[in-house]
Amino acid sequence: MNNQLIKTIIVDDEKPSREALANYLREFCPGVQIVAECKSAKTAFKAITEHQPQLVFLDIEMPKGSGFDLLKMFSSVHFKVIFITAFSNYAVQAFRCSATDFLLKPVKISELKEAVNKVKNELEIKDSYLSVKALLDNFSVHAPPNGKLVIPDSKGFTVIKTSDIIYCEADGYCSCFYLTGNLKVSSSRNLKFYEELLPAHLFIRTHHSYIVNLSHVKGYSHQEEILLADGFKCPLSSGNKRAFIDLFKKHG
């Protein structure tokens, strides 16, 4: 894969957007080979079936079928997806939950190059296309707390339910998830990434190194510790104490 061009299709109903993205890719992403440009879900389905690309740049809102409608046409998705979107923050969170990349319009060259490099790395991972299905699952249940979270690591990724997360702990530039059933999953992303991603009405930063799921809080001790499910404990810093107590009261 290192020296092989990534077969790519651009799907966007607006011709200027397609042309601009194609020009950026040719100039700044030499490892990408554009094999087709499509203006609708229908023509994209035909082109994807014919060319079998490894990567599809996909607009969300198109008049004759959305980007999600296109993905649902396939019984299984065997290509990586980078969404081109002006969607709300909620949708952006869903993209992150699935480890599927996205670019906000107007596309920034630095973000485009980063997204393409991420695809290059993930194409080395067996079954990495499952992240697209996780994205569709997230949208089908309408809310991340009941959805799936794809945790990337150095070897690939692990799919977990956000409701199973008891707490997250910083581990240098990485993060560790402690789950129900005494399970632990490590991520190559930092804690700040997940703080912005996880729903704020359920997950709260209790310490610079900890994020807690309020659904699993069992109590609070005078030793400035939060008592959690499965016997876990997390520190509560003085700076986060008031926010934790207020949010926990609302949650309860």
Q: Are 180 and 229 in contact (CB under 8 A)?
A: yes
pLDDT in tens, 151-174: 766 666 788 888 999 999 998 878
pLDDT per position in the chain (252 positions), as tens? 556 899 999 999 999 999 999 999 999 999 999 999 999 999 999 999 999 999 999 998 888 888 888 988 988 888 888 988 876 655 665 565 554 678 888 899 999 998 898 888 777 665 555 566 666 665 554 444 446 777 766 666 788 888 999 999 998 878 999 999 999 998 877 888 788 778 888 889 999 999 999 999 998 887 889 999 999 999 999 888 888 888 777 765
pLDDT of 252 reads 59
| Cis amide prior to 106 (ω within 30 degrees) | yes
pLDDT at 248: 74
CA distance linking residue 22 with residue 126, whole number of Å: 28
Domains belonging to the chain, first-starting first, are 6-139 (3.40.50.2300), 160-251 (2.40.50.1020)
Q: pLDDT at position 132, please?
A: 66
Quote the pLDDT of residue 32. Answer: 96
pLDDT, position 156: 65
Please state, in angstroms and rounded to a whole number, the distance separating the CA atoms of residues 32 and 5.
5
Q: Which of 154, 23, 37, 129 is nearest to 78 (CA)?
A: 129
Given this model, what pLDDT does residue 125 score? 61
Distance in angstroms (rounded) separating the CA atoms of residues 37 and 15: 9
